[in-house]
Structure 1
Amino acid sequence: MSTIGFLGLGIMGKAMAINLVNAGFDVTVWNRNPAKCEDLVAIGAKLGTSPKSVAERCDITIAMVSDPAAALDICNGPEGVVAGIGEGRGYIDMSTVDDDTSSLISNAITQAGGRFLEAPVSGTKKPAEDGTLIILAAGDESLYQDALPAFDVMGKMSPYLGEVGQGANMKLVVNMMMGGMLSIFSEGISLGLKAGLTGEQILDVVNAGAMANPMFKGKGAMFLEENYTTSFPLKHMQKDMRLAVALGDKLDQPMPTAAIANEAFKQALKAGFGDEDIAAVYKTVK
């Protein structure tokens, strides 16, 4: 069984790392705020002092951080992953970044003698806790094969999508569709309530028909309860929407609906809802 390093213990990363420890993996953790490592150390994880120290110690190092800037930051510099990766060890970035950022990280890791896999995830806090994420892997196929036992603990599905960039592209496509759905769902619930329907009536009809899906069921209940407890921070969804729209520009693909949905999330971000759940986009229209 490979030794695993885990960098980044936020809402998602902490749950994923806990599952690896509980499954019996030898796990070394690091976080910019060391206090976030305490719960992992308490259940048997080792504590790393820097991304470099973790990459030096572990067969496979996994990162789960917030955005492209953070993903690049933990790789570069004298205490970064690149400085410690060494010959043949693996680095897996599970953060959601654009394909250009993935390519930069991939090039740096491979030039340092390591193997690289991008593996962003589809899923939020509860799937991370339950080990039912969808892991979108692309890059070094030998590292993918070595990582499958860990992926099987963290997720329910982990397709191999080919060359670096395709995992990032798949994640942006999926989250772009999710953001668009959530934006129109917010407007639909708001319109129905103002027309005199009850929220329960609307959700019952939606959940019984062709539009039924787990997100509408879960987020609809959050709308009605005005409960925006965070499982996927709104600021991160807006980042993903922005990156998806930028990918559309790069590929000359018109995306008018995605662009409008991105504006809805930008409005929610400007209103101060960035650290709340993505469901808080509803607050800007209700």
Structure 2
Amino acid sequence: MTVGFIGLGVMGQPMALNLARAGTQLIVWNRTPDRAEPLRAAGATVATDVEEVFRGADTVVVMLANDRVVDAVLRRGTGDFARMVRGRTLVHMGTTAPDYSAGLAADVARAGGTYREAPVSGSRGPAETGDLVVMIAGDAVDPGVERMLRPMCREIVRCGPVPGALLMKLAVNTFLIGTVTALCEAFHFAGEHGLDPGTLSAVLDAGPMASTVSRAKGGKLRERDFSVQASIRDVLYNNQLIVDAAHAGGVAAPLSEVCRELYAEALRDGHGTADMAAVVRALETRTSRSTR
């Protein structure tokens, strides 16, 4: 089976590379052509346009930044979209609003295609090592799609019909964003009271709250290393999706609303491309203002 892969960004490029290295026959395309060169070196075919991807593959993975980009790249609402997806399986692995995904699924079905929702839990590091967790949703279990996904992940969790996988992704991200933001506040609190960040890390790592996330982000906070794994901009985007879905469902989400404001402040202060741990800078700014 030849697999198409559209979107070779921070997450998409290492995911596609894992497919290529596993021997998947792959045809790829990206809006910025240079991002496709490592895939070419790994043996993938680099398409000149999106239509070439659909002509060459029965299953096409889409890993794009947001719903506007998905619509633009797939030419949704045009005859081109219907022609491309007819007879194809479209696997949407990016993060968008659940309602948007449900609408996209309906459009794909009307055009004669098959739709699978497969967002992931994990950042660039797990994407590089093939340790993502994939949440998959669709009208039926699809063993072929699940086999295709295996080189990119260590776990596949079935989440029922669309948009169950994206709702699950937002639930997972609620916990992730709250956890990392609380960790940043802990380091900020400790620093403002003159405590050694290395000692704080030692206590956290030895205790019951230790996790892969706390160790990774704790290291970033300790070293002031904000090289990106998951950016402030992307986390704010995800956080806004959570708040929007909560409001749409009449669900209280006070912690998510507070986190959203902090990440928005970090973005406004120029930290949009830094790792999400850089939200500590928004806390530092608030403290600085309160002590003037």
Same fold (TM over 0.5): yes
Aligned to 2:158: 160
Cα distance in 1 between the residues matched to 2:83 and 2:94: 20
Q: Are 2:83 and 1:83 aligned? A: yes
Aligned to 1:269: 267
CA contact (8 A) 1:138 1:164 kept: yes
Aligned to 2:22: 23
1:56 CA displacement: 2.3
Aligned to 1:118: 117
Give the gaps of 5 or more residues in structure 2. Answer: 285-292
Cα distance in 2 between the residues matched to 1:236 and 1:244: 13
1:81 CA displacement: 5.0
Cα distance in 1 between the residues matched to 2:49 and 2:104: 17
Aligned to 1:216: 214
1:79 CA displacement: 8.7
Aligned to 1:178: 176
Q: 1:252 to 1:189 in 2, by over 3 A?
A: same
Cα distance in 2 between the residues matched to 1:242 and 1:80: 31
C-alpha deviations, 1:182-228, integer Å up to 9, x for none? 11211111111121210011111111112111111111111121111
1:104 CA displacement: 1.8
Aligned to 2:199: 201
Give the gaps of 5 or more residues in structure 1. Answer: none
Cα distance in 1 between the residues matched to 2:25 and 2:243: 39
CA contact (8 A) 1:74 1:80 kept: no
Q: Which amino acid aligns with 2:84?
A: G
C-alpha deviations, 1:57-87, integer Å up to 9, x for none? 2011001111121122222256965431222
SS in structure 2 opposite 1:267? helix
Q: Which amino acid aligns with 1:236?
A: D
Aligned to 2:276: 278
Q: Which amino acid aligns with 2:260?
A: N
1:141 CA displacement: 2.3
C-alpha deviations, 1:89-146, integer Å up to 9, x for none? 210010011111101211111111110001000001111111110001101425x321
1:52 CA displacement: 2.4
Q: 1:212 to 1:79 in 2, by over 3 A?
A: farther
Q: 1:16 to 1:37 in 2, by over 3 A?
A: same
Cα distance in 2 between the residues matched to 1:140 and 1:146: 14
TM-score computed with the length of structure 2 as normaliser: 0.93
C-alpha deviations, 1:149-183, integer Å up to 9, x for none? 22111001111111111111111111122111111
Q: Which amino acid aligns with 1:138?
A: A
Q: 1:284 to 1:80 in 2, by over 3 A?
A: farther
Aligned to 2:57: 58
CA contact (8 A) 1:133 1:155 kept: yes
Aligned to 2:7: 8
Aligned to 2:186: 188
SS in structure 2 opposite 1:173? helix
CA contact (8 A) 1:51 1:79 kept: no
Cα distance in 1 between the residues matched to 2:43 and 2:126: 22
Q: Which amino acid aligns with 2:104?
A: I
